[in-house]
Structure 1
Amino acid sequence: MAAPDNSEFQRAFVETVNLLTCDTERALGVMFDLTAQRLVRFAMTITGNQPDAEDALQGAFSRIAGKPRLLARADSPWPYLIRTVRNEALRILQKRRHITSSDSLDARPSGSEDSETAMVFEETNERVRRVLGTLPQSQYEVVILKHWEDLTFAEIAEALGLSQNTVASRYRYAMEKLQRSLEPLMK
Structure 2
Amino acid sequence: MSLNQTTDFQANFQSCVNRLTQQPERALTEIFDLVAQRLVRFAITITGNQFDAEDALQGAFARIAFKPRLLAKANAPWPYLIRSVRNEALRIIQKRKGTGLEVTERGSGEQSVASQIVHEETADIVRRMLKTLPKNQYQVVILKHWEELTFAEIAEALGLSQNTVASRYRYAMEKLQRSLEPLVR
TM-score class, shorter-chain normalisation, is: 0.7 to 0.9
- Cα distance per residue 1:74-108 (max 9 Å; x no partner): 110000000000000000000012677889xxxxx
Q: Which has the higher contact order (CA 8 A, sep 6+)?
A: 1
* 2-structure distance, mates of 1:118, 1:58: 30
Query: Match of 2:160, SS?
Result: coil
Q: Which position in structure 1 is the counterpart of 2:131?
A: 133
Shift of 1:67: 1.0
Query: Match of 2:70, SS?
Result: helix
Q: Which position in structure 2 is the counterpart of 1:161?
A: 159
Is 2:74 the counterpart of 1:74? Answer: yes
* 1-structure distance, mates of 2:121, 2:25: 44
Q: Structure 1 residues 42-51 or 8-17, which shifts more?
A: 42-51
Q: Which position in structure 2 is the counterpart of 1:33?
A: 33
Shift of 1:129: 1.7
Instruction: In structure 2, give the amino acid aligned to 1:170.
Output: R
Q: TM-score, normalised by structure 2?
A: 0.87
Q: Which position in structure 2 is the counterpart of 1:107?
A: none
* 1-structure distance, mates of 2:146, 2:153: 13
* 1-structure distance, mates of 2:19, 2:6: 20
Is 2:83 the counterpart of 1:83? Answer: yes
- Cα distance per residue 1:107-159 (max 9 Å; x no partner): xxxxxxx95x6665444333222211111110000000000000000000000
Q: Is the 8 A contact 1:157 1:164 kept in 2?
A: yes
Q: Is the 8 A contact 1:153 1:168 kept in 2?
A: yes
* Moved beyond 6 Å, runs of 4+: 98-103
Instruction: In structure 2, give the amino acid aligned to 1:27.
Output: A
Q: TM-score, normalised by structure 1?
A: 0.86
Q: Which position in structure 1 is the counterpart of 2:58?
A: 58
Using a 3 Å threshold, how does the CA distance of structure 1 residues 65 and 119 change in structure 2: closer, same or farther?
closer
Task: Report sequence identity in percent.
Answer: 70
Q: Which residues in structure 2 correspond to 1:1-187 (within 5 Å)? A: 2=1, 5-97=5-97, 115=114, 121-187=119-185
